[in-house]
Amino acid sequence: MKSSLGEIRQRDMFLKSITLDQLQAFEAAARHSSFTRAAEELFVTQPTVSMQVKHLTQAIGMPLFEQVGKRVFLTEAGKEVLSTCQEIFKCLERLETTIDDLKGMKQGRLRLAAVTTTKYFIPKLLKPFCELYPGVSVSLEITNHEALLARLNDNLDDLYILSCPPERDDIEATTFLDNPLVAIAPANHPLAKQRNLPLECLAEEPLIVREEGSGTRKVIQKFFERHGISPRINLELGSNEAIHQAVIDGLGLSVISLHTLKFTEVKNQLAILDIEGLPIRCQWQVIYPKKKQLSITATTFLEYLLATSQQFSVDK
Ligand code: PGA
């Protein structure tokens, strides 16, 4: 059936009035069920997100969200727009990868996401890579284990760096470096001079741990469970540096990645305890969804990582 000129014009107007910025704002707001969090992710203000969604809603001609209490939910039309949005973004991502591959390593983008504890070596490792490939623009998102897995599920990056990835068949994982977790105490702590301490000594001391969602915390919890030990957690802190400082100040002991100590001044004020069963032997891994087609930039970085990362080994 032929469309009338009027219908074609109307469809044309509809398509022309929708912009990628509107789709991006809508997709982020739908994924987070929050305009505020979408604005944070996109580095724009919340009114900007509201305005983009408003214009998209006008172009579609039907409400895309409905508000119940403080939460927003997608309407049927909103769900349709979201799935089309996701297809459009997947197509654009494939296009970007193809274009990057055509340009080779002269130009391109590398999106990395890495857990908090990798910040002691990933930037050092990136420096020579960036010097080798000056045309490649690299973004590095540093976040904790749980937030990194959320990024993986949302397919936001090319490669994800963490230790102890989830056991999933749909993930490709490559190990590249050791990540020993050691028990630390203030340098002048009575346990610091003793050798072959039983693991139970950790249950007798107050323990400082990272926040919920941290990979380090998850590993330690599992380790204690496996050994039937119930630690006395007296403090939760959101950064490894805060843990160093709290241990130095005598607030408790902690179990932490040895990488956090390697290049820090504070290591002279801390002692690594000689405890049976420690260090906990974890490994740094690069992961990505098996279905993902890696760009030349991502493949080149992966090869570079495997070839050069041993210089950052702390496991002597
Ligand atoms: P974290 O993760 O920095 O969130 O503790 C570390 C890890 O994955 O081992």
Provide the CB-side half-sphere exposure for 101 (13 A, CA): 12
pLDDT score for 11: 60
The pLDDT-based confidence of 267 (bands split at 50, 70, 90) is confident
Q: Summarize the confidence of residues 13-36 as an average pLDDT.
A: 89
Q: Summarize the confidence of residues 85-101 as an average pLDDT.
A: 88
The pLDDT-based confidence of 262 (bands split at 50, 70, 90) is confident
Q: Buried b / exposed e across 115-127, counting CB within 10 Å, b at 16+?
A: bbbbbbbbeebbe
Q: Summarize the confidence of residues 45-55 as an average pLDDT.
A: 95
Q: Summarize the confidence of residues 158-164 as an average pLDDT.
A: 95
Our measurement of the distance from residue 315's CA atom to the centroid of its chain's CA atoms, rounded to an integer in Å, reads 24
pLDDT score for 13: 64
Helix (H) or strand (E) holding 39: helix 35-42
Mean per-residue pLDDT over the chain, rounded: 91
pLDDT score for 99: 86
Task: Provide the residue type at 121 as one letter.
Answer: F
Q: Kindly give the number of the ligand 1 atom that is closest to the alpha carbon of 179.
A: 9
In the chain, the percentage of residues whose pLDDT exceeds 90 is 79
pLDDT above 80 (res 3): no
pLDDT above 60 (res 316): no
The pLDDT-based confidence of 179 (bands split at 50, 70, 90) is very high
The pLDDT-based confidence of 303 (bands split at 50, 70, 90) is very high
Q: Kindly give the number of the ligand 1 atom that is closest to the alpha carbon of 146.
A: 4
pLDDT above 80 (res 263): no
First and final CA of the chain: distance in angstroms? 75
Cβ 103 vs Cβ 96: under 8 Å: no
Distance CA 87, CA 142 (A): 27
Kindly report which listed range (66-80, 132-146, 207-221, 293-307) carries the lowest average pLDDT score. 66-80
Long-range contacts of residues 221-224, Cβ cutoff 8 Å, at least 24 apart: 223/255, 223/277, 223/280
Cβ 257 vs Cβ 117: under 8 Å: yes
Q: Buried b / exposed e across 287-302, counting CB within 10 Å, b at 16+?
A: bbeeebebbbbbebbb
Q: What is the pLDDT of residues 114-129, one digit of tens each?
A: 999 999 999 999 999 9
Distance CA 295, CA 286 (A): 15
The pLDDT-based confidence of 9 (bands split at 50, 70, 90) is low
pLDDT score for 207: 96
Ligand 1 pocket test target in 182, 222, 257, 287 with most atoms within 8 Å of CB: 257
Specify which of 99-103, 283-287, 292-296, 310-314 reaches the highest per-range mean pLDDT: 283-287
pLDDT score for 14: 67
Q: Kindly give the number of the ligand 1 atom that is closest to the alpha carbon of 214.
A: 4
Distance CA 65, CA 181 (A): 46
Task: Provide the residue type at 151 as one letter.
Answer: R
pLDDT score for 4: 66
pLDDT above 70 (res 266): yes
Three-state secondary structure call for residue 280: strand
Q: Summarize the confidence of residues 255-282 as an average pLDDT.
A: 92
Q: Whose CA is nearest to atom 6 of ligand 1?
A: 215
Q: Where are the beta strands (DSSP E) in 164-227?
A: 171-186, 206-210
Q: Within 6 Å (CB) of ligand 1, which residues are found?
A: 115-117, 144-145, 162-164, 179, 210, 214-216, 282
Q: Summarize the confidence of residues 148-158 as an average pLDDT.
A: 93
- Give bridge partners of residue 178 from the DSSP assignment: 283
Helix (H) or strand (E) holding 13: helix 5-17
- Strand 108-115 to 136-143 pairing: parallel
The interaxial angle of helices 122-132 and 296-308, nearest 10 deg, is 120
Cβ 173 vs Cβ 286: under 8 Å: yes
